[in-house]
Amino acid sequence: MTENQRGIGVVQIVWILAGLLVAAAAVFHVVSHYRESRVEFDTPYQAILLANGSVYFGQLQGYGTPHPILTDVYYIVSQNNPETKQTNNILVKRGKELHAPDRMYLTPNQIIFVEPVGTNSKVAELIAQAKQQK
């Protein structure tokens, strides 16, 4: 009886097992990398710079995953006084827009960088003031 007549030979079984081991290792690598790439922050708010130049402040969840979400979102609007030529920066809470968003789903490749908002920073003070006025 030839090897072709006997069905699968020892060499083929070894190659099948080797292929299964490589596939299992690849899946393990992808899953472990996904878990390890998730970032946790030690401050309540983060500053997020997007590729379009927009900066938002909020509570970022899922950074390092395919679907980061920003909640409790604020941004800064600059207003120029035409008489004094002074610029005033005002912190605005998202949600006042016509569609009343309560979160932002971000595209990971559009995030340029993320920084923690210091608890004693001016932005943190303005957020605290906005929460008190609410």
Q: Are residues 122 and 69 in the same domain?
A: yes
Q: Are residues 11 and 51 in the same domain?
A: no
Q: How far apart are CA 112 and CA 53, in angstroms?
A: 9
Which value, to the nearest 10 degrees, does the dihedral of the CA atoms of residues 20, 26, 32, 37 take? -170
Q: What is the pLDDT of residues 54-89, one digit of tens each?
A: 999 999 999 988 899 999 999 999 899 889 889 988
Give CA angle at 99 (94, 105), nearest 5°.
60
Q: What's the chain's average pLDDT?
A: 88
Q: Are residues 121 and 71 in the same domain?
A: yes
Q: Tally Cβ neighbours within 10 Å of residue 118.
A: 12
Written as six digits, the tokens of 63 are 């950074």
More confident position, 71 or 38 = 71
Asked whether residue 41 is assigned to any structural domain, the reply reads no
Q: Are residues 100 and 124 in the same domain?
A: yes
Percent of the chain whose pLDDT exceeds 90: 51
